[in-house]
Amino acid sequence: MNDVATGIQAQVEAVYRAESRRVLATLIRLLGDFDIAEEALHDAFIAAVEQWPGEGIPANPRAWLVSTGRFKAIDRIRRRAKWDVSLEDVAEQLDEATDPATLDDREGVEDDRLRLVFTCCHPALAPDAQVALTLREVCGLTTEEIARAYLATPATIAQRVVRAKNKIRDARIPYEVPGRTELPERLDSVLRVIYLVFNEGYLASSGETLTRHDLSGEAIRLGHLIVEMLPEAEAVGLLALMLLHESRRAARTAPNGDIVLLADQDRSLWNRAQIADGVKLVEGALAAGEIGLYTLQAAIAAIHALAPSAGATDWGRIVGFYDLMLQATPSPIVALNRAVAVAMRDGPAAGLALVDTLLAEGSLDDYHLAHSARADLCRRLGQSAEAAHSYKKALALTRQPSEQRFLRARLAELEK
């Protein structure tokens, strides 16, 4: 392969990473079927690999891919129609349904991903199917990646995705953003799924890198679209939370990819524009009166973001926000986060007592961050044997390479 062809190949791969999920969303709208659209996406990129080295990359690669995928799908259906005459009608309908001029409608193409999110999060689908389908179709995660994130087998995730697609097809769930009267009741599931997508980008469940900016960036973009359509306090709170967390991304890992804890991060690397936007949003959400969990989490993130140093963090206010969260929705993970905040406010012994109580209840046995938190508190108290025991438990439970390196380094420090 010559240098020009190699360069074109690299550009095709870059276009795939940047545009494939948007192209798929538009093809689903145009073709009305997930599986046909996925085949069309695959065919379009094969055509790009074959044609772009000779013809050059088109001025608008996304529109070219959508148009090519659509025509490839119609041709594929017509070939199948030789054995199934009813498919010829389908091909004709697809051929007549779309004005080719609309394929370059950039605003419409952007909205397609939002339509796809609402379709994947339709209340007719089971919650676990909503998450799996959104991560697979909107974000492009493999079934293996989703399975690792949710401690399930790839076969289980694949079944959820297939069942969800069949349900959408059989129930004729519309590919659209619901009307304003339906939108509020549909919002909760959409926000939940967007936040799960963001979390996979903020702390990747697999792979060598701790973060996946493509996922966190996409979740933030979807968050912006939701707020523009429906500026409810919790939608605003979620967007604020994502921006405030994302503002620290550049400081969360060392050049070699190792984790850098919040207290040790170089705060000059934090994105001040995102912090300013996030703080403004969370102030507006808090002022709205009905304060939900995303807004409370965003308020905590804002306190961290505005503190000039780790030592200057107002842990008392953070504990107070966690108290409100526990009142609204009792959760062992929220209780664990509160325990860590109490340790920062009142000392490691106070936090350790709370963590031990939570672990004794059993619900956090398989949660590596609970054991990691306990290990850190024991370490700070000079209880080296207990700290090592908990670090080993955490290490056995995590599959993230950067987290594994961090835990091994902590263990090595204890053994010195």
Percent of the chain with pLDDT over 90: 48
Which residues have CB under 8 Å from 179's CB, separation 6+? none
157-200 per-position pLDDT tens digit: 999 999 999 999 899 888 887 877 777 778 888 898 899 888 87
Q: What is the predicted pLDDT for the residue at 145? A: 81
Dihedral sign for Cα atoms in the order 298, 321, 362, 368 = positive
Provide the token pair at 131.
């998450």
Local structure of 264: helix, strand or coil? helix
For residue 155 the two structure tokens come to 């076969």
In 81-212, which ranges are continuous DSSP H helix? 86-97, 106-120, 127-133, 143-149, 154-170, 183-202
Please, which pLDDT band fits residue 277 given cuts at 50, 70 and 90?
Answer: very high
Distance separating the N- and C-terminal Cα atoms of the chain: 52
How far apart CA 130 and CA 122 sit, in angstroms, is: 7
259 beta partners: 253
Residue at token pair 């398989």: 366
pLDDT-derived band of residue 253, with 50, 70 and 90 as boundaries? confident
Is pLDDT larger for residue 2 or for residue 157?
157
Handedness of CA 238, 241, 243, 246 (dihedral sign): negative
pLDDT-derived band of residue 291, with 50, 70 and 90 as boundaries? confident
In the numeric block, the tokens 């069309």 are attached to 40
pLDDT value for 81:
57
Task: Characterise 347 by phi-psi region: left (phi > 0), alpha (psi -120 to 50), beta (else).
Answer: left
Q: How far apart are CA 220 and CA 138, in angstroms?
A: 13
CA angle 38, 43, 49 (to 5 degrees): 130
**pLDDT tens column, 94-142:** 555 554 444 444 444 457 888 888 899 998 999 889 989 988 888 888 8
Q: What percent of the chain has pLDDT over 70?
A: 89
pLDDT interval class at 316 (50, 70, 90):
very high
Across residues 71-94, what is the average pLDDT?
Answer: 64
Taking residue 303's Cβ as centre, other Cβ atoms within 10 Å add up to: 19
CB 21 within 8 A of CB 113: yes
Amino acid occupying residue 84 = D
Q: Residue 110: what pLDDT?
A: 54
The mean of the pLDDT values for the chain is: 86
C-alpha–C-alpha distance, residues 237 and 243, integer Å: 10
State mean pLDDT over 290-296: 91
Residue 205 has pLDDT above 70, yes or no: no
Within a 10 A sphere around the Cβ of 93, how many other Cβ atoms? 12
